[in-house]
Structure 1
Amino acid sequence: MRIRVVSSKEEINSLGKGEKIIHLAFRPSNKDIFTLVRTCPGVKAIHIPSSYMRTVSNSTKMFLNMQGVELLEGDVWGHRKDINEYSEIKPEVFDRIQELKAESLSESDLLNRLGRETQLSKDLIKFLLKEKVK
């Protein structure tokens, strides 16, 4: 699975319509998020760093909810935008999710273990769990 990393508001208009998960590596304004959803009508999740999450307005959160777009908190660790505009979630992560599910772990134990092992945010892991069920 690929996460498109966007490091400036100028990049939003260059995104493809097929993007599903987008990580915003800058502090987005309400207008930036509205533009993003309009530019990428198929987007399922917007992933932003924790420090920026507090600046997202309630009206924007409500808009995203109405559009069926999840707002996920977290960071993309170890990614170099100058090398690749996408951050990859390796298939091994999904294999590990299936292994841990087979152990009948509680959701919180599953999130904690996967968070430690993969360095992915809990919000992103929850999203991946939900999306793989569909």
Structure 2
Amino acid sequence: MKIRVVSKRKEIETLDEGERVIHLAFRPSNKDIFDLVKRCKNVEVIQIPSSYRKTVSKSIEMFLEMEGIRLIEGDVWGHRKDINEYYSISPSVNERIKELKSEGMADEEIARKIEREGKLNKDILLYILDKQ
């Protein structure tokens, strides 16, 4: 799975309309989020760093909920935007999820376990689990 990393407001207008998972590496305003949803009709997840999450307004939270878009906290550790505009989640994560599911583990438990093992946060792991 790939996460499109957006580090500047100006990049929103250049995004591919089919993007589904987007990480905003800047503090988004209400307008930024509206513009993003307007541009990317298929967006399912918007991820922002936890320090920025606290500044998102309740009206934007309600808007995203009505649109069926998840707003989650998280970072893309070690990602170099100058090398690649996408942060890739290793296929080994999917393999590990399948392995733990086959053992009969619940989604929440799987997310907690993989969160401890890697650099992904629980919210993005729960999204991946929902998609499988």
TM-aligned CA deviation for residue 59 of structure 1: 0.5
In 1, the alpha carbon distance for the partners of 2:21 and 2:114 equals 19
Identical pairs, percent:
55
- 2:118 alignment partner AA: T
**1:1-134 to 2 correspondence within 5 Å?**
1-132=1-132
Q: What TM-score do you get using the length of structure 2 for normalisation? A: 0.96
Q: What TM-score do you get using the length of structure 1 for normalisation? A: 0.94
In 2, the alpha carbon distance for the partners of 1:95 and 1:45 equals 22
Calculate the aligned-residue CA RMSD, in Å: 1.0
In 1, the alpha carbon distance for the partners of 2:69 and 2:106 equals 26
Following TM superposition, the consecutive aligned residue runs of length 4 or more in structure 1 with deviations greater than 4 angstroms are none
TM-aligned CA deviation for residue 46 of structure 1: 0.2
Structure 1: runs of 5+ lacking an equivalent: none
Q: Deviations over 1:24-81 (max 9, x none)?
A: 0000001100000001011110010001110011100110111111101111111100
Structure 2: runs of 5+ lacking an equivalent: none
Q: Deviations over 1:84-114 (max 9, x none)?
A: 0000012111110010111222444312210
